[in-house]
Structure 1
Amino acid sequence: MEDKLQNLRKAMDSTTHNGKHFTEVQKAKIKQKIRSVKTSESHEPKKHMVFGFTAAALSILVLLVSTEFMITPSIKEPNDGSTQALIDDWEIRNEYEENGEVLFSVYPDPGLSAEKPYGYLFNFTAPFDTFEGKELAIYAVHKETGERITVLAPNKVVNPPSGYSSLERFTTNFAVPAGGIWKYEVFVDDQLYGNVIVSVREKQYEEREEAPINKDWEITPTFTVKTENGERVFQGIEGEIAFMEMEFKVGQEGKTRWFIWGEDLQEVNRENLVVIATHKDSQEEKVVIDSNHWEVSNPEYEDESFKSILGAQASQHAVFSLPSSGLWRLDAYVGKKHYRSIIVEVEK
């Protein structure tokens, strides 16, 4: 009997008594030892031997099962941060607090936009030894699509920035692939340290005219045009830019037609019509139209053409949606030139 127990003890080396839990290899060794003991027994074993061995085997099996249930939940899976729970908070903020204490702040480049690397300054308030020798990583999550990317791969912190005794001026450069609201998650040794929420503008068009800011954010009024078939309502500034009135609901695509006036415009223009939407509260930006599908009037229906009735030089059909409720400013460009802004309200 003592020989059998010795065999079992050998199989149990490095198991949960000395480590985290039984591995599959260790389980296999135990089963193999049990089988070897069975086959070495005579065909007519003594009753007390059978009882003793059975009790020992049952004890081992119970230990295997109970240990699995007790130990498995605490196993730390290797990861890049992707398995950590995310805080469902998308309000724009450049600071992260815990228990009323700011752990870090972030200061992006003022010209921050998508698809181009920009500089970020992170101000960590904890002493340097909080990070020394540990790996620091940053991941970015896009609110609208859920896309998650690594913007700063895990990198061991060895020294503070030159001239400083802590990470109060930790700088890095990276780009995100799309405009909108992004959550930047900071991890220290694979543990979520905190996050900040940043608004990133859509890809900037070089030398594009800046849109004048409408501080009042008043909804742009509508106007009505009469035709032989009735009336049609437009939203915008007649004689400058307008579109056929459409219903705005969160995430719901609507089809409309834009009309643009301008002596420098042609019926078909070389540059695209670009409409960039900006949310009043979050300052989230979204390119809702980027198209060169300029429409050409059919002379046979000249009298019935809205473009002719309105006297607009150019027009385009468009389908687009807006991702959240509230007031949005639609800035319309043809190429680099800004024409006008239209304020609309999106319902939930």
Structure 2
Amino acid sequence: MTLNNTIEIDIVKASSSKIASVDFENLTFGNIFTDHMLICDFKDGVWQKPIITPYEPFLIDPSAKVFHYGQAIFEGMKAYKDDNDDVWLFRPDENFKRFNKSAKRMAMPEVPENVFIEGLKTVVDLDREWVKKGLGNTLYLRPFMIATGHGVIAQPSSEYRFMIILSPAKSYYSGEVKVIIAEHYSRAANGGIGAAKAAGNYSAQFYPTKLANEKGYQQIIWTDDATHTKLEEAGTMNVFIRINDTLFTAPTSERILDGVTRKSLIELAQRDGLNVEVRSVLVEELVNAAKDGSLKEIFGAGTAAVVSPIVAFAYQGTEYQLPQIENSFALQLKEDLTKIQYKLAEDTFGWTVKV
């Protein structure tokens, strides 16, 4: 894809780089940040001129509405470096569209496309040495927006800050993942903000996930809020289920996030001739498939891990093991996707954008 929107961005470079002090072989995901960040403020009803500054803390009023009413949204993206030292973004237009969808749902101003896309390309280019070559090496990109207007009256803020920060990352290994199927707690409800990438969606998951962790499970497969009979998402990721040789994933809705990795895997599966059905899968179907041996794979799909295979699930006190198989759809699709992202395979979809 080609994006040619231009905007003037002021740049204040860091006096020195932190990069020499970073151990790139032993990175904790999302814990180290690059030398620069982008800031663009919304004041008096208009977006101000973006600026890139050295990464550092900033002052904010204690009564800022982000603290009191939770107006905060974000995106998760990655940049990749190919063997020619070129740096690439992956489907940034999809993240831009979803960001503004989230903004609209949270009564926040939509960010102009040139601020989002050109801002990303400019700050990534400035810190391009932080993007290391090699499969598994990436630069995680975190665009986000918070309500900065002051006052504790319960209404939308009049001022906002859009920012982009960058964090070098290695392959996201989480070990063997076992999950519990939700029977009581819900990730999102009809009419709510489940389809928005809002900060509050994630904090609301922490407590039920903590309970799952205490039982020896890493994540939860969320079910619909009304009946808890339909499988929806896995932790903070979209979920795929393979029964025999058909791959199922739930349709997006007011409760389910429109994942960029999810839609990319669907398109890749269809290209490769795999049978894909986008429909709700019932918990009962999953349990029956586990019992009769037709359940082959369950995996989560998201930016951080790309694909996260699940080795077992628990429901109503019974644990069901997933079989070990040779022709894993999960691993095939992950390989297909990462080859495109690292420019090791032709991008016939036009998903990659050069920085």
Q: What TM-score comes out, normalization by structure 2 length?
A: 0.19
Could you say which structure has the larger radius of gyration? 1
Which structure exhibits the higher relative contact order, with contacts defined as CA atoms closer than 8 Å and separated by 6 or more residues? 2
Higher helix share: 2
Q: If the length of structure 1 is used for normalisation, what is the TM-score?
A: 0.20
